[in-house]
A and B are shown apart, each in its own frame.
Chain A
Amino acid sequence: MSNDKSILLGAVAYDPKVVTIWEGIREHFQSEGVPMDFALFSNYERQVQELLKGHIDIAWNTPLAHVRVRQRTNGESISLGMRDSDRDFHAKVIVRQGAGISSLKDLEGKTVAVGSSDSTQARILPLYFLAQEGVDLSRVNVVTFDTDPGKHGDTGTSEIDVLRALHEGQADAGTLGDLVWVNEQAAGHVDSARVEVLWTTPGFDHCMFDAHPQLSPEKIEAFKRALFAMSWENPKHRRLLELEGLREWLPPREDGYRSLEAALKTK
């Protein structure tokens, strides 16, 4: 862990905007009297490794990375905060109109498009929940759009791929996160005559700031103080919050990761 006074945060560079976001947040932290710097990784596996080695103080983690950090520190890592949008995430099962699917059981024998193999919302949890609902996945022809491996579905590219496959008739059904689904609808990108929602999975939580178990209480308090001082009404903050996909930072909670923990065990 870094001994200097500044907090070193890790984030995964899944898009060029990540630089803008963390440059802006660093500037905000500095204005709050909290020196902070960031290191960008190309994938979450490496980021988790470096956090566990203490090379970075805090990691901005996907749910998959968060659950791994919890497991590998025996629950001693310190969760610091999450986005409002990280709470009560859901996945959706979308079907092509005319594919003859009116219940989850009908998915058996059909082609189902799913997102990246490490995407919580577009693959891991929807398939887990479908199995929980009694769908025999061995009878489902699962087609994976495995874009951006290591990014844990952050780019959303695989979810857009799933939607396109449905529109183009390459799949009968597909799974994706609720935010991409409603945002694509709200933007007018979904043809309601061709695809519609069949089912919504139970809720789960998404990203989390994970701190190394030995991070000093001073740095933890300073980080939280600066983070929670960001406000949607502040034009400078708002731009960063928009880019990061939230309206406000919220305190951490762990219950929302139980389903993912269970899903990883069944794998």
Chain B
Amino acid sequence: MITEVAVIAVDGGELPLGGGLLALVRPALDQLQPGGILAVLSKSRAVREDLASWCRAQRHEYLGAEETADGSDRHLISRGRFSVPLNPHAEKSGLESHEGRLTAAEVLKVAPMPSYADPISGFAPRGAQVEPGGPSYPFTLNERDRVAPAEVAVLYDQAVSAQWDATADIPWSKVKPLPADLERALIQVMTFLAENELSALYLPSRFIAKIHPAYAEVAMFLATQLADEARHIDVFLKRARLCGRGLGISSVTTSRSLLSLLQIEDFTEAAFLLSVLGEGTFLDLLSFIERHAPDEATAELIRRARNDESRHVHFGLAHVRAGLAADPNLYGRLESAVRKRAATLHGINGVPAPLQDALTILAAGSTQARAVAKGHDAFRELLETMHLNRVRRLGNAGFTPAQAQIISELHTPNFM
């Protein structure tokens, strides 16, 4: 129990209670512990009548008044126990900018995230003085270890400065007509990418509303992720439509795979399946497309999308690593989530055919048989690279080589 009794004084001059005095009295009382004393200097005769009544209404104790040497009244109020309590975790140091920059990472140092967040604090920003007795909010993601990896602020800072403009930052004017077969392949690839990125836009948005605002940086990072996905969908579809042949095929394999992703209820499982496995696999896919891009604009938009995706993978890995460190049972849960998803995709054999063919032709650069053979080899090599990198990433997340092997092999043939 804190017994420290502070004394504060305010000078109300001739202000009546209802004429501004409370704007001095109320904030001064808010700085005191219950039982702390506020002295109110006043020259108003009406305040003599009203201050005690106001104290009664607000459950502060009015201790009386005495006349000072200059003829003012000196009223004494003891702060009541029903007001907003002082914050026991009040920030000790102020925020400082470095070389003109002020990052979210610096904010995190001053206002660290609590290990548990009370749903009663609602949308109160972390560090605010919360009045007790408020309603409970439906924030179910309220444990730091399950929501907020330490890296989130740095990743948010990077994401904010890495935003780009889908309208003007791609050298759209350098897009030239391609041979029809190559154009069709490119359209198919872009259609596939946009469809998958749409799922990556929708899935994290399902969890943002469940994240306790004490971990707002996570919601803010996910907001950048959503903005990234929106931009990717935009550029992929623009590139496809520049060919003037409409869009490609959306296959049932892709549709089933993405629905099984969208239906995941657990945030960490979603981060694992979407960001670590799905977007992780997409990094290799995007590298492949950039390498075989038919023009500078396509290469540029793919390169930019890949940069963004690698941030998402980084966040997903950090999220899963932190979760695994806090809860060893998570390994089993994640493996079982992968198995469950694989079971719903049972019977799907291999990459959706329209995509496989498009990637082969894109890598071939033409429809000549010899080139196509090379394209086919490149595609097979891509699958192997994806698998090896998934195993490596799973190792980074904390899985054993054997677990990593199994999980990678169970991953959806749709890549996402």
List A residues at the B interface (Cβ < 8 Å).
Answer: 84-85, 88, 90, 92, 178-179, 181-186, 188-190, 192-193, 196-200, 232-235, 238, 247
Chain A residues near B54: list those with CB within 8 A: 182, 185-186
The 8 Å CB contact of A234, one of B18, B49, B50, B133, is B133
B57 interface residue (CB < 8 Å to A): yes
Distance of A238 Cα from B120 Cα, bound (Å)? 13
Chain B residues near A186: list those with CB within 8 A: 17-18, 22, 54, 57
Pairwise interchain contact A192-B133, C-beta atoms closer than 8 A: no
Pairwise interchain contact A192-B16, C-beta atoms closer than 8 A: yes
Q: Is the interface of A mostly helix, strand, loop or mixed?
A: mixed
Chain A residues near B136: list those with CB within 8 A: 235
Residues 48-68 of chain B, each 1 if its beta carbon lies under 8 Å from chain A, else 0: 011011101101000000000
Pairwise interchain contact A182-B17, C-beta atoms closer than 8 A: yes
Minimum CB–CB distance from B19 to chain A (whole Å) comes to 4
B94 interface residue (CB < 8 Å to A): no
B135 interface residue (CB < 8 Å to A): yes
Distance of A92 Cα from B82 Cα, bound (Å)? 25
Which are the 4 A-B pairs with shortest beta-carbon distances? A185-B18, A192-B19, A238-B133, A178-B53
B134 interface residue (CB < 8 Å to A): yes
Pairwise interchain contact A182-B133, C-beta atoms closer than 8 A: no
Chain A residues near B59: list those with CB within 8 A: 84, 247
On whether A184 and B18 interact (CB within 8 A), knowing A178-B53, A247-B82, the answer reads yes
Q: Is the interface of B mostly helix, strand, loop or mixed?
A: helix
Chain B residues near A238: list those with CB within 8 A: 133
Pairwise interchain contact B133-A235, C-beta atoms closer than 8 A: yes
On whether A233 and B133 interact (CB within 8 A), knowing A90-B53, A183-B57, A200-B53, the answer reads yes
Pairwise interchain contact B19-A182, C-beta atoms closer than 8 A: no
Closest residue of chain B to A84 (Cβ to Cβ) is B59
B46 interface residue (CB < 8 Å to A): yes
Chain A residues near B46: list those with CB within 8 A: 192, 196-197
Distance of A198 Cα from B45 Cα, bound (Å)? 9
Minimum CB–CB distance from B143 to chain A (whole Å) comes to 21
Closest residue of chain A to B47 (Cβ to Cβ) is A197
Distance of A192 Cα from B134 Cα, bound (Å)? 33
Chain B residues near A181: list those with CB within 8 A: 50, 53
Closest residue of chain B to A190 (Cβ to Cβ) is B18
7 extra interface residue pairs, beta carbon distance < 8 Å, beyond A178-B53, A186-B57: A179-B57, A182-B50, A186-B54, A192-B19, A193-B19, A196-B16, A200-B53
Pairwise interchain contact B53-A92, C-beta atoms closer than 8 A: yes
B13 interface residue (CB < 8 Å to A): no
Q: Please provide the chain B residues from 127 to 147 with a CB less than 8 Å away from any CB of chain A in the complex.
A: 132-136
Pairwise interchain contact A178-B82, C-beta atoms closer than 8 A: no
Pairwise interchain contact B49-A200, C-beta atoms closer than 8 A: yes
Pairwise interchain contact B120-A182, C-beta atoms closer than 8 A: no
15 cross-chain CB contacts under 8 A: A92-B49, A178-B56, A179-B56, A182-B18, A182-B50, A182-B57, A186-B22, A190-B18, A200-B53, A232-B82, A232-B132, A232-B133, A233-B133, A235-B136, A238-B133
Chain A residues near B56: list those with CB within 8 A: 85, 88, 90, 178-179
Chain A residues near B132: list those with CB within 8 A: 232-233
Closest residue of chain A to B54 (Cβ to Cβ) is A182
Chain B residues near A178: list those with CB within 8 A: 53, 56-57
Minimum CB–CB distance from B136 to chain A (whole Å) comes to 6
Distance of A85 Cα from B80 Cα, bound (Å)? 14
Minimum CB–CB distance from A78 to chain B (whole Å) comes to 27
Q: Which of B18, B56, B136 has the most CB of A within 10 A?
A: B18
Distance of A124 Cα from B203 Cα, bound (Å)? 66
Pairwise interchain contact B18-A188, C-beta atoms closer than 8 A: yes
Minimum CB–CB distance from B320 to chain A (whole Å) comes to 35
Pairwise interchain contact A185-B50, C-beta atoms closer than 8 A: yes
Minimum CB–CB distance from A133 to chain B (whole Å) comes to 14
Q: Which of A186, A200, A238 has the most CB of B within 10 A?
A: A186
